[in-house]
Structure 1
Amino acid sequence: MVATREPRVASVAQETAGAEADAGAALAKLGLAATGALALEACGGDSGSSGGGTPPPVLSSTQASRFLSQSAIGYSHADIASVSTSGIDAWLTAQFAMARPQKFWDFLVTNGYAASTNVNTLNGFDPMIWSQLMGGSDILRQRVGLALLDQWVVSIDGFASSWRPFVMAAYLDVLWESAFSNYRDLMEGVSTSVAMGLYLTFLGSVKANPATGSIPDENYARELMQLFTIGLYQLNMDGTLVMSGGNPVPTYTQTDVSQGARVWTGYTFANTDNTTPDRMQLPMAINAAQHETGATSFLGISIPAGTSGATARATTLDGLFNHPNVPPFVSKQLIQHLVTSNPSPAYVGRVAAVFANNGSGVRGDMKSVIRAILTDSEARDDTQVTSSSFGKLREPVTRLVQWARAFNVTSPTNLWPFGNVSSSANRIGESPGHAPSVFNWFRPGYTPPGTTIASDGRVAPEFQITNEPSMIAYINYLQSVIVNGAGEAKADYSSLTAIGSDSQALLNELNLVLAAGQISATTIAQMKTALDTISATTSAGLNNRIYAALVLVMASPEYLVLR
């Protein structure tokens, strides 16, 4: 465990250097610096609980905050009060009914990014995403949409095209719209999107040519199975592996990939007009002359000779959607993104059962699946807060967005100038829409080597992008944005200035709003001792104390691990 190293304080404007120095000094007093300080063992699972149940309609503030930390992209004290009063069920119903305030595509158009001068730039992309994550009122949809992007990965850095921000905007709109629809709709929307066609290279794939030996592109056929629907190995309904002779049973073969690739031939842009970005929003068309029309068979799916491209796609997606692996495969990954890295088989099984049948005979109903995940007894059990085998490391993007939403960060001119924050040297090591590969920033099965997690056979996905340098970079960047904001995007700390002269009250508020009350009394006492060394008798001193308190809380292991 690293307990003595003081993080380097980032160089910032002279007028704010004192504030950052105060925060850095407070951190040093507590020895919060790097990955070694994190409770690695806190990302596990247990043997499961007895089953789902209806949560109480009225919750304590800490219970409401804990629920929101699992369900919302970020939230404020007012959101905590709302959930505490209305209860989880009513809050979910209201969020499901909420119309999207703005589509990604519309943000780009409204803010002038469709001008021809932007045809070959990335202008508008990062502001578009941050405006939604930090500003949209549909905080449940934002959280689920981000989880879907972590699974159905497309990265703006991974393909060449004109109008790339618009390509991504259309794709993100598919994910965000599908968050509350049906998983089959998601599969259809992604499979016809220009973004996925470009990213996994089946846009332009043509039928085999025996004369030249060319074959269809296999990327999408493979990843559609491996990453998006059924996974590598057959699963029981509770997410455990089906075994044969002591080995897991594969779900598909290379022959299945090669045969499946024939379905994804002939795909092209809907039209040839590139003077505007409009065609990037349209579903891909199929050029019949380039589509494979021979008989195809894979995974028990049979497509007769002469079948049209659209019918072949529908048959393929229907077959995959109804594969027995889909409910546990999808359910477990959603649980991992929202609640805990190592859900019990019982938890996975309960959610998978809802995926298979929402109670009205509907398979893949996302609203029912999300409700099942968030209201399950394993998620809502308050005793999990003290369990060393439950929870997940908060991914860096959700930490940044949580700060922004807790303190009403706004961008008056819609620039949202946070930019690409994926650098692990001087930013947070992750940025939405900039994943390094189709395998995302971290894999759901990642295990940190040489840890008790590894020896216990558990996983901790977010630790794949977490190490000592990345944590120091996160803390330094956090100090900078807490004090300075990002360009014109500033936080409103008025709720904290009213109580900032009382270190205990300040920490209690931050513990509730940011950490759902999960920072221990012992740690709070240590933080208070550090904060009390910062005089709050002047406006500048009060602000410095608030800045330091925010950094202390958001750098603490008890905050970083969400239970």
Structure 2
Amino acid sequence: MQDDGAPQQATDTIETSSPTKSGLLAIGSASVLSACGGNDGLNTSSLSSAAPPPETAPSSAQLLPIPITEQAAARFLMQAGMGASRTEIKKVQTLGYSAWIDQQMQMPASLSRWDWLVTKGMNASEFRNSQAGFDSCAWRKLIQSPDTLRQRVCFALSEIFVISIDGLVNGGGWKAFAAAHYLDLLEANCFGNYRDLLQKISTSTSMSLYLTYRGNTKFNPATGALPDENYARELMQLFSIGLVNLNQDGSVITQNGVPVETYQLEDITGLARVFTGWDFDLAQSNTSTPDYHRRPLRQYPNKHETGASSFLGKTIPAGISGEEALKLSLDILFAHPNVAPFIGKQLIQKLVTSNPSPAYVARISAVFNANAFGVRGDLGAVVKAILLDPEARGRNLATSSLTEFVFNPQAGKIREPILRFCAWARAFNASSPSDTWRIGDTSDAGTKLGQSPLRSPSVFNFYRPGYVPPNTAIANAGLIAPEMQIVNESSVVGYLNFMQNTIDGMRGGNDLKADYSGLMALAHDPVALVGEMNLLLAAGQLDLGTLQRIQNAIGTMPFTTDRAKLLRIHAALTLVLATPEFIVLK
């Protein structure tokens, strides 16, 4: 510790061992995923020829301290949060990655979305059949809440355990509260146990409305009516085990060259019997207030299928309560070996990279299967392991030489529009002075972001985790790029126009106000101005050619008045937010 009392800069560590081989394939510069810049402040000129990360974790490792640079801290925050700011960069440098994660996980939650709606009077009867207020309470959390890690993981989970506010039908109204509570539920449990989360999702009014098992009733021999199978199918396909059996590294298990399916139609039918008899817990027998959306579903025995139910080779015995049948069913799914690689890989993709190596997935699966205390399903431990993994931090475990401190050229992910927007908002402390957060539904791809919180067009999210953009260098390299599924000509132009108007603050149609005071002091110097934006928005990853072009462009603009300086800032921000190096986070 320094004698003058100044905080000591934290150091990161890498583990080193003998080199191991990898079959990873580098992709050409034609691919959008090849856009990369600095790597934690070290030279990447030999990126294409550098050794890729190993397939297995090292043994008998030694620790090598590495100072956390501003660029490294910013990049970490772009994976672990909703964006980087000068304040959070300094915290990461001071605390170190692991301690920063611990501090974030221990941070108390800010005002819930539900409670914010109540403070705004949205529980008045006039709003019963309205979505008013939902978009505001969702954006407020993403942009302003200090628990940025919790918000990032909550957002990731909302794209795995998908509902959409537009799909909350036959629910007695109060859609804004139903959707707000669902996000509050994900937020409250995002560092908890996966099994507990599965229970709470399965008994939430929002999920029961979206996947239509609210009021689901047992087989009626008189009418031939069968239990609704919607949730039983998606619970297995999307929320737990997936379509095909997996090894712990995420690779597909095959038999005679054909993937082995996890379940069949009879498994869906069997599990659907468990989701009968569940309905709203209407304490006052009405829906005059939204409060019932905050209570778990209630079991009504007269509607529940009491016969035996079989799925995945297991049998739920006859004659037990609906509550016990649900518990046993979720236990069966939780114990399935697919859950760790299926959920773990998707969380890696949401936070760090679209194409994690099998070794990365296997390391995360191992943490899911047993945390430091042998507990299965600890999501907090999984998130921390994902963010601290050598592949996440850009470390090369094959050598202790800092000259080979590189990124895997296949690594990285496209930042989806919500994350791009929030990166700008967080970097410059955007706020709503009147606390109304009038951003609205940004789903329109032609005029806005083409994406908006909890407004996915289907249960399959805005994009599929295995999407391969056809006829691209990405496809030719055998890679995937999930977020490319929502990229088209309209969305590219719509995003830039929306961001340009929002940056200006006078044309955006919302009430966001960014703090550009730090940039105003740099506006006279194109190099310093663009350099600051490069750090806060792109973690220093803009290449020299891109930097030079933006500097030259804004260098032609006057800067003698405050208004002229602001115009320089607006122009530079728009150009930085349009760069491949910003859109693709390496």
* Alignment map for 1:124-523 (pairs within 5 Å): 124-160=133-169, 161=171, 162-271=173-282, 272-381=285-394, 387-484=408-505, 485-523=508-546
When residues 411 and 549 of structure 1 are mapped into structure 2, their CA distance, relative to the original with a 3 A threshold, is same
State the Cα deviation string for residues 58-104 of structure 1 (Å, max 9, x = none).
Answer: 41111101111111012311101110111001101100100101111
Confirm or deny: 8 A CA contact 2:467 2:485 kept in the other structure: yes
Equivalent-residue separation in structure 1 for 2:81 and 2:136 (angstroms): 20
Where does residue 3 of structure 1 map in the other structure? Answer: none
Equivalent-residue separation in structure 1 for 2:405 and 2:271 (angstroms): 43
Equivalent-residue separation in structure 2 for 1:117 and 1:319 (angstroms): 44
Equivalent-residue separation in structure 2 for 1:182 and 1:454 (angstroms): 36
Which amino acid in the other structure matches residue 195 of structure 2? Answer: R
Q: Which structure: greater helix fraction?
A: 1
Confirm or deny: 8 A CA contact 1:342 1:458 kept in the other structure: yes
Structure 1, 478-487 or 355-364: larger mean CA deviation: 478-487
State the Cα deviation string for residues 237-264 of structure 1 (Å, max 9, x = none).
Answer: 0000001100110000000000000000
Structure 2, gaps ≥5 residues long: 1-28, 37-47, 396-403
Equivalent-residue separation in structure 2 for 1:557 and 1:242 (angstroms): 36
Equivalent-residue separation in structure 1 for 2:259 and 2:185 (angstroms): 34
Equivalent-residue separation in structure 2 for 1:387 and 1:327 (angstroms): 24
- Structure 1 position 388, deviation (Å): 3.5
Equivalent-residue separation in structure 2 for 1:175 and 1:56 (angstroms): 36
Equivalent-residue separation in structure 1 for 2:293 and 2:30 (angstroms): 45
Which amino acid in the other structure matches residue 254 of structure 1? Answer: L
* Alignment map for 1:15-94 (pairs within 5 Å): 39-41=32-34, 48-51=54-57, 56=65, 58-94=67-103
Where does residue 557 of structure 2 map in the other structure? Answer: 534
State the Cα deviation string for residues 485-518 of structure 1 (Å, max 9, x = none).
Answer: 5432211100100111100000110111110000
Which amino acid in the other structure matches residue 463 of structure 1? Answer: M
Equivalent-residue separation in structure 2 for 1:58 and 1:87 (angstroms): 9
- Structure 1 position 353, deviation (Å): 0.2
When residues 387 and 359 of structure 1 are mapped into structure 2, their CA distance, relative to the original with a 3 A threshold, is closer
Equivalent-residue separation in structure 2 for 1:360 and 1:245 (angstroms): 39
When residues 288 and 420 of structure 1 are mapped into structure 2, their CA distance, relative to the original with a 3 A threshold, is same
Equivalent-residue separation in structure 1 for 2:193 and 2:516 (angstroms): 40
TM-score (norm 2): 0.87
Tell whether 2:145 aligns with 1:122. Answer: no
Which amino acid in the other structure matches residue 142 of structure 1? Answer: Q
Confirm or deny: 8 A CA contact 2:279 2:298 kept in the other structure: yes
Structure 1, 544-553 or 386-395: larger mean CA deviation: 386-395
Structure 1, 190-199 or 169-178: larger mean CA deviation: 169-178
Equivalent-residue separation in structure 1 for 2:52 and 2:213 (angstroms): 42
Confirm or deny: 8 A CA contact 2:53 2:408 kept in the other structure: no
When residues 283 and 534 of structure 1 are mapped into structure 2, their CA distance, relative to the original with a 3 A threshold, is same
Confirm or deny: 8 A CA contact 1:231 1:329 kept in the other structure: yes
Which amino acid in the other structure matches residue 57 of structure 2? Answer: G
Equivalent-residue separation in structure 1 for 2:578 and 2:220 (angstroms): 57
- Structure 1 position 406, deviation (Å): 0.9
Equivalent-residue separation in structure 2 for 1:242 and 1:47 (angstroms): 24
Q: What SS does the aligned partner of 1:349 have? A: helix
Equivalent-residue separation in structure 1 for 2:35 and 2:371 (angstroms): 32
When residues 113 and 48 of structure 1 are mapped into structure 2, their CA distance, relative to the original with a 3 A threshold, is farther
Equivalent-residue separation in structure 2 for 1:507 and 1:42 (angstroms): 18
Equivalent-residue separation in structure 2 for 1:431 and 1:198 (angstroms): 20
Equivalent-residue separation in structure 1 for 2:54 and 2:439 (angstroms): 40
Which amino acid in the other structure matches residue 121 of structure 2? Answer: G
When residues 37 and 50 of structure 1 are mapped into structure 2, their CA distance, relative to the original with a 3 A threshold, is closer
- Structure 1 position 111, deviation (Å): 1.5
Where does residue 12 of structure 2 map in the other structure? Answer: none
- Structure 1 position 385, deviation (Å): 6.5
Q: After TM superposition, where is structure 1 displaced by more than 4 Å over at least 4 residues in a row?
A: 40-50, 52-58, 382-387
Confirm or deny: 8 A CA contact 1:41 1:453 kept in the other structure: no
Confirm or deny: 8 A CA contact 1:55 1:380 kept in the other structure: no
Q: CA RMSD in A?
A: 1.9
State the Cα deviation string for residues 128-152 of structure 1 (Å, max 9, x = none).
Answer: 1011001101000000000000000
Which amino acid in the other structure matches residue 370 of structure 1? Answer: V
- Structure 1 position 455, deviation (Å): 2.4
Equivalent-residue separation in structure 1 for 2:405 and 2:31 (angstroms): 18
Q: What SS does the aligned partner of 1:297 have? A: strand
Equivalent-residue separation in structure 2 for 1:193 and 1:423 (angstroms): 29
Q: What SS does the aligned partner of 1:302 have? A: strand
- Structure 1 position 359, deviation (Å): 2.1
- Structure 1 position 386, deviation (Å): 5.5
The percentage of aligned residue pairs carrying the same residue is: 48
Equivalent-residue separation in structure 1 for 2:73 and 2:201 (angstroms): 34
Which amino acid in the other structure matches residue 158 of structure 1? Answer: G
Q: 1:545 aligns with which of 564, 568, 575?
A: 568
Confirm or deny: 8 A CA contact 2:307 2:319 kept in the other structure: yes
Where does residue 17 of structure 1 map in the other structure? Answer: none
Equivalent-residue separation in structure 1 for 2:64 and 2:220 (angstroms): 59
Confirm or deny: 8 A CA contact 2:219 2:305 kept in the other structure: yes
Structure 1, 38-47 or 84-93: larger mean CA deviation: 38-47
Confirm or deny: 8 A CA contact 2:204 2:296 kept in the other structure: yes
When residues 487 and 451 of structure 1 are mapped into structure 2, their CA distance, relative to the original with a 3 A threshold, is closer
- Structure 1 position 473, deviation (Å): 0.7
Which amino acid in the other structure matches residue 419 of structure 2? Answer: T
- Structure 1 position 275, deviation (Å): 1.2
Higher relative contact order, structure no. (Cα contacts within 8 Å, ≥ 6 residues apart): 1
State the Cα deviation string for residues 453-495 of structure 1 (Å, max 9, x = none).
Answer: 2223221000000122211110011100000254322111001
Confirm or deny: 8 A CA contact 2:439 2:511 kept in the other structure: no
Q: What SS does the aligned partner of 2:94 have? A: helix
Confirm or deny: 8 A CA contact 1:208 1:214 kept in the other structure: yes
Confirm or deny: 8 A CA contact 2:244 2:259 kept in the other structure: yes
Structure 1, 335-344 or 291-300: larger mean CA deviation: 291-300
Structure 1, gaps ≥5 residues long: 1-35
TM-score (norm 1): 0.91
